[in-house]
Structure 1
Amino acid sequence: MSTDRYYPTDLTEEQWQVIAPLLPQPKKREGGPGRPPCHPRWIVNGILYVNKTGCQWRMVPKEYGCWNTIFDYFNRWQKQGVWSEVMEQLRQQERQRQGRLAEPSAGCADSQSVKAATQGNSIGYDGGKQVKGRKRHVLVDTLGLILAVVVTAANGDDRQGLKALLSCYFAKGVKRLRKIWVDGNYSGSPLQNWVARLKKTHKLKLERVEKTGPGFNLVKRRWVVERTFSWLFNYRRHSKDYERLTQNSEAMIQISMIHLLLKRLA
């Protein structure tokens, strides 16, 4: 298949050279009778097109191949943890490019409630934000790069979301993370006790940073994670939660961060 770029979301040759070693190779038998063999570059291009434009899978341009083959790869690689692993590898590369250690020692956590566009699983109502849908919990480093993401129903508790984030992040082994800045929603003795038990292994500390006044104001340290949420909204797939499964919602967020990192690294 040609390596020409059909749409602005398509990977450049330099970007492809960065991500190609991190992706599994498609099986040679796939593609089907009368179809061109699946090329991983065009599979990724098709997924990026959906992610950026917010279109339905069935409306993926034919230049990328059969839409259900592209979705199958998206779904399969999500189940295999490919998107999470690629995001982590690229994040480490970007930190090292900026003269930092691969793993951060400090980060910031927050959540964001968005409407759900489909009747999938884990749908709830956030009374505080008055939103029926899902809640995105993210943990970022001081550069705003995502360390972990968990999607729950919108009525999910922020403290439980933070526990899920930290469990997901530390599940891959011992990390350097020592301090996390959070807002007032992450309070209470149960969370502090849970973090204290985690501290015995990882020496982790939560530091609450409150707003200094009414209305909009730039909150020290926490503005980094708010900027990350604004980055995600540049990808229309995140204007609402369009996925039936929360795991696919998490994968779409990881793909957006992968695309942002590729632009920087290439």
Structure 2
Amino acid sequence: MEITEAQFHRIEHCLPQQRGNVSMTNLQVLSAILYVAEHGCKWRGLPKRFGNWHTIYTRMNRWSKSGVLDRVFQELQREQIVRIKIEAVSLDSTIVKVHPDGTGAFKKNGPRAIGKSRGGWTTKIHMVAADARTAITFALSPGEAGDAPMGRALLQHLGPIDEPLHLLMDKAYEGDETRQLALDLGFIPVVPPKSNRLEPWEYDREMCRRRNEVERLFRRLKGFRRVFSRFDKLDIMFLSFVHLALIVDGLRW
């Protein structure tokens, strides 16, 4: 997998301008980072054709701290949302196993959304998606965190919407508080009630089937080994790999 010259020109303006005696272009650095993301290798394991691994890691670390890949993701996201007609959005989460190399960071070094659940050390990615290729927003939480509280946090981050949209969710989000928040923000919640509900409600079963779109998006993201397994101790670096995976997927449009 490579980023072509044409694809790079779409996002070049979002990347820092290179000054001085720089040995590697932004395209070369992106290609090297993409190799790490796709194959899950260690930075030291980068093939020599990509150049000095430490230079690439340093550039990635700098971009992560300054939010460069976040800005690129937001730019592509705006293009995609203009291109498609959004009729519904889906809210869901997926669990990422944490490799032993990803544990042990000091709290003072930065946030690390890693927790211990029945599956061991894990991180959750919570996401609102417009379709199987378009993520609207996402966030991380420790693996043992509940879906509904983080789902409400994402919805509050989005804020009120101008026109009513269907919000597709599974039973993890069928609580009264989550559905009421969705209504207050202008969404139409489409969520099946749990079997122990005393007063179950009717819902649009045909529309609810579209919830598979966010699951397909998660599946595409997990094609990148650095997203499928978390090797990064701090959230800031892991988030950058998630952003990169979404960026590469968006550039294929």
Look up the equivalent residue of 2:212 and give its one-letter code. W
Equivalent position of 2:166 in the other structure = 179
Partner Cα separation in structure 2 for residue 108 and residue 251 of structure 1: 22
Equivalent position of 1:232 in the other structure = 221
Secondary structure of the residue aligned to 2:217 is helix
- Note closer, same or farther for the CA distance 1:144–1:41 as it changes in structure 2 (3 Å cut): closer
Equivalent position of 1:14 in the other structure = 6
Q: CA deviation at 1:13?
A: 1.7
TM-score norm. by structure 2 comes to 0.80
Across the aligned residues of Structure 1 and Structure 2, the Cα RMSD in angstroms comes to: 2.7
- Note closer, same or farther for the CA distance 1:259–1:233 as it changes in structure 2 (3 Å cut): same
Equivalent position of 2:143 in the other structure = 154
Worse overlay, 50-59 or 63-72 = 63-72
Secondary structure of the residue aligned to 1:185 is helix
Q: CA deviation at 1:232?
A: 1.1
Contact map agreement 1:114 1:240 (CA 8 A) in 2:
yes
Q: Is 2:178 the partner of 1:204?
A: no
Equivalent position of 1:114 in the other structure = 96
Worse overlay, 46-55 or 82-91 = 82-91
Out of 37, 60, 80, which is 1:74 matched to? 60
Contact map agreement 1:123 1:132 (CA 8 A) in 2:
yes
Q: CA deviation at 1:167?
A: 4.1
- Note closer, same or farther for the CA distance 1:256–1:176 as it changes in structure 2 (3 Å cut): farther
Look up the equivalent residue of 1:257 and give its one-letter code. L
Q: Is 2:63 the partner of 1:64?
A: no
- Note closer, same or farther for the CA distance 1:163–1:114 as it changes in structure 2 (3 Å cut): same
Equivalent position of 2:200 in the other structure = none
Equivalent position of 1:137 in the other structure = 126
Secondary structure of the residue aligned to 2:246 is helix
Q: Which runs of 5+ in 2 are unaligned?
A: 106-111, 195-207
Out of 17, 21, 26, which is 1:25 matched to? 17
Q: CA deviation at 1:113?
A: 1.2
Look up the equivalent residue of 1:157 and give its one-letter code. G
Partner Cα separation in structure 2 for residue 246 and residue 51 of structure 1: 15
Partner Cα separation in structure 1 for residue 36 and residue 230 of structure 2: 13
Look up the equivalent residue of 1:207 and give its one-letter code. V
Partner Cα separation in structure 2 for residue 138 and residue 49 of structure 1: 24
Q: CA deviation at 1:193?
A: 4.7
Look up the equivalent residue of 1:227 and give its one-letter code. R
Partner Cα separation in structure 2 for residue 44 and residue 124 of structure 1: 30
Q: CA deviation at 1:105?
A: 5.3
Q: Which runs of 5+ in 1 are unaligned?
A: 1-8, 32-36, 212-218
Contact map agreement 2:132 2:216 (CA 8 A) in 1:
no
Secondary structure of the residue aligned to 1:28 is coil
Contact map agreement 2:130 2:136 (CA 8 A) in 1:
yes
Equivalent position of 2:202 in the other structure = none
Residues 8-61 of structure 1 show CA distances to partners (whole Å, capped at 9, x for unaligned) of x332121122221222213425x4xxxxx2311111111111111111112222
Partner Cα separation in structure 2 for residue 248 and residue 163 of structure 1: 25
Look up the equivalent residue of 2:171 and give its one-letter code. G
Q: CA deviation at 1:225?
A: 0.7
- Note closer, same or farther for the CA distance 1:93–1:12 as it changes in structure 2 (3 Å cut): same
